[in-house]
Amino acid sequence: MEAPKTKVVVLFVSLLFILYPNVVVQRTLADGVTPDEAKQLRDEVREMFYHAFDGYMENAFPRDELRPLSCGGEDTLGGYALTLIDSLDTLALLGDRDRFTASVEWIGKNLRFDINKTVSVFETTIRVLGGLLSAHLLASDYATGMKIPTYDNQLLNLAEDLARRLLPVFDTPTGIPFGSVNLLYGVDERESKITSTAGGGTLTLEFGVLSRLTNDPIFEQVTKNAVRGLWARRSKLNLVGAHINVFTGEWTQKDAGIGTSIDSFYEYLLKAYLLFGDEEYLFIFQEAYAAAMQYLYNDPWYVEVNMDSGALVWPLFNSLQAFWPGLQVLAGDIGPAIRTHNAFFSVWKRYGFTPEGFNLASLSVQYGQKSYPLRPELMESTYWLYKATRDPRYLDAGRDMVTSLQYGARCSCGYCHISDVEFHKQEDHMESFFLAETVKYLWLLFDLAVGPDNLVENGPYKYIFSTEGHILPSTPQISLAREHCSYFGSYCKSGNIKQQHHKSDVASNLQETNDSRSFGSWAHGGLPSESTFSDSIPLSGFIKGFCPGLTHGQKFGVSYVMSADTQQNTPTNERAPTVSQRQSDTAPVENSDHLRPVNKKNHDNFQELDGGGSKSNSPQE
């Protein structure tokens, strides 16, 4: 007699889902996160931005950055209102037309780069050049809703002037740039010849956009040449080291990883393809990513290995690695991204923040790396994974992050660095990227949950986020300079190779990275059972001119360059061939013999530090 009642209940619930899907689904946005709370969190993050932005404008402007405890300012890069420049597109994203307009007008009238300051090429490019270009593209286009009637390309002119002052750093035998430059006098003759891989390989988006906007190819050419210079010196394992001599091309630090000194090299390979449609970047990314997954991935963590041998060097999670799951979302490799994000977030839940370094062997904060300088990378990946999956766990994660920042980092005039995540000791400094990235990604996360009403989700273009979080639109002027989707086999040298014509879902996904509806079969929470990169982004089928079996070196003529040290220590008959002599194999390997947990017991127990569901160790507790 009970069966009919059960059927009636099931039928009733089914009808509720059919007739009132929004009510049923929205009431379970996340465990404890109701639709009203998601809106409140979005508004709270907005208030966080203005607490810090107003604190900067009232106490530090026009100096570079805010001292949030003492309510003062400091010049940390060039003394040219760095935080204001870095915040411009966040103001636009929040719809603050008045402050965006006033800020653009002030910068256009007052900013100059003919100053005797020696600056980091990397930081100046991603923070200042990127900030100016993003704001220019917003202020000059009616379609963005942020068009300034009186605007006359002042920010673009400043960006071009700045970039030309950076150009001397590329005058090296390898094409890999110096790390620093004097904006008035150029490269000092005593400038270090050692630079990081990220420093040399994370300039392509900003310089490439500038070339497209000014019709001067020099900016794009020098940065692409730098990437080629780095990739040509990769190891036979397709790994790159952390630091290199820009004159000799010798690696001075051979630790390969996805974190400090290397991270955004990988990021800009894929994003340069997505923004510019230049398939050479995708070829390099595919080979580099496959090698990273084979030699660095120790599921769910990533370690550092020797770039030549693949031997484990450093079992460390560092906070800069946290961008990686977000990059994997763009690449379509969702399964590993989810597992790695879970692991990274478990560190956050243990301490309330992510320390700069967490030792995977001792399962403790790495000595000398206890700080949290308000980094955005974990927020960035949380946003991308929620956008891809709509899994409510990521709203829970975002709420925990907001709570930690509010109770642990908020201070009188802004938000403070945390000098020790174990004791939540505050430090009197606030990086400009807190406003450019950290709060931006949190705001986008909750706005997406409520029902997006912002330029990125509903605007006229698809947007690519730079490594500093600046939004760069995929406009025809920027993205259609090269056609990169065509009929198959059209440029294969062997006229006999024919590929089956089919529409690639992945190709569509790659071209629509910022559309929340663009993630194919898993757009609304349906996930592939076991995603692998080789399945997600096939090596053939949607790239014009790509023939099966061609490597990047065969197509573009960039050869593998073995270091002198390696050549001396390698028997002649065992030396690695050049790329043009090797067949590319970019399928990732799930388990590598080179990667063994330093402590198997600890590794097994540390899938998630919270023990599978304990409450966050947030400051409020």
Q: Examine residue 268 and state whether it is found in any structural domain, yes or no.
A: yes
Whether the pLDDT of residue 22 is over 80: the answer is no
* Residue 52 CB contacts under 8 Å (≥ 6 apart), including other chains: 66, 68, 414, 415, 430, 434, 435, 439
Q: How confident is the model at residue 554 (pLDDT cuts 50, 70, 90)?
A: low
DSSP H helical ranges for 140-278: 154-166, 197-201, 204-214, 218-231, 263-276
CATH code, domain with 261 = 1.50.10.10
Indicate the residue type of 372: Y
Q: What is the pLDDT of residues 136-178, one digit of tens each?
A: 999 999 999 999 999 999 999 999 999 999 999 999 999 999 9
Question: Are the C-beta atoms of residues 218 and 286 closer than 8 Å to each other?
Answer: no
* Active-site residue identified among 65, 263, 308, 427: 263
Beta strands per DSSP E along 469-596: 471-473
Whether the pLDDT of residue 491 is over 70: the answer is no
Q: Quick check: is 356 catalytic?
A: yes
Q: Examine residue 277 and state whether it is found in any structural domain, yes or no.
A: yes
Q: Quick check: is 608 catalytic?
A: no
Whether the pLDDT of residue 583 is over 50: the answer is no
Q: What is the pLDDT of residues 532-545, one digit of tens each?
A: 433 433 332 223 33
Task: Write down the pLDDT at residue 341.
Answer: 98
Q: Examine residue 557 and state whether it is found in any structural domain, yes or no.
A: no
Parallel, antiparallel, or unpaired: how do β-strands 425-427 and 65-67 relate? unpaired
Q: What is the pLDDT of residues 210-255, one digit of tens each?
A: 999 999 999 999 999 999 999 999 999 999 999 999 999 999 999 9
Burial profile 17-48: b = 16 or more Cβ within 10 angstroms, e = fewer: eeeeeeeeebeebbeebebebbeebbebbbeb
Identify which has the larger pLDDT, 7 or 101: 101
Whether the pLDDT of residue 559 is over 80: the answer is no
Task: Write down the pLDDT at residue 357.
Answer: 98
Q: Examine residue 384 and state whether it is found in any structural domain, yes or no.
A: no
Task: State the burial class of residue 374 (Cβ atoms within 10 Å of its Cβ: 0-12, 13-18, 19+).
Answer: buried
Whether the pLDDT of residue 498 is over 50: the answer is no
Q: Can you tell me the mean pLDDT for 259-281? A: 97
Whether the pLDDT of residue 34 is over 90: the answer is no
* Residue 604 CB contacts under 8 Å (≥ 6 apart), including other chains: 597
Identify which has the larger pLDDT, 595 or 162: 162
For residue 383, give both structure tokens.
């946003």
Q: Is 467 annotated as a binding residue?
A: yes
Q: What is the pLDDT of residues 352-373, one digit of tens each?
A: 999 999 999 999 999 999 999 9
Q: Examine residue 592 and state whether it is found in any structural domain, yes or no.
A: no
Identify which has the larger pLDDT, 519 or 567: 567
Task: Write down the pLDDT at residue 19.
Answer: 35
Q: In whole angstroms, what is the distance from residue 575 CA to residue 539 CA?
A: 27
Parallel, antiparallel, or unpaired: how do β-strands 312-314 and 304-306 relate? antiparallel
Query: How many domains does the structure of the chain reveal?
Result: 1
Q: What is the pLDDT of residues 35-77, one digit of tens each?
A: 899 999 999 999 999 999 999 999 999 999 999 999 999 999 9
Q: Examine residue 70 and state whether it is found in any structural domain, yes or no.
A: no
Q: What is the pLDDT of residues 431-442, one digit of tens each?
A: 999 999 999 999
Q: How many CB atoms lie within 10 A of CB 108?
A: 21
Average pLDDT value for the chain:
81
- Domain range for residue 265? 79-296
Q: Quick check: is 377 catalytic?
A: yes
Burial profile 118-135: b = 16 or more Cβ within 10 angstroms, e = fewer: ebebbbbbbbbbbbbbbb
Whether the pLDDT of residue 486 is over 90: the answer is no
* Active-site residue identified among 255, 356, 428, 437: 356
Q: Examine residue 184 and state whether it is found in any structural domain, yes or no.
A: yes
Q: Quick check: is 123 catalytic?
A: yes
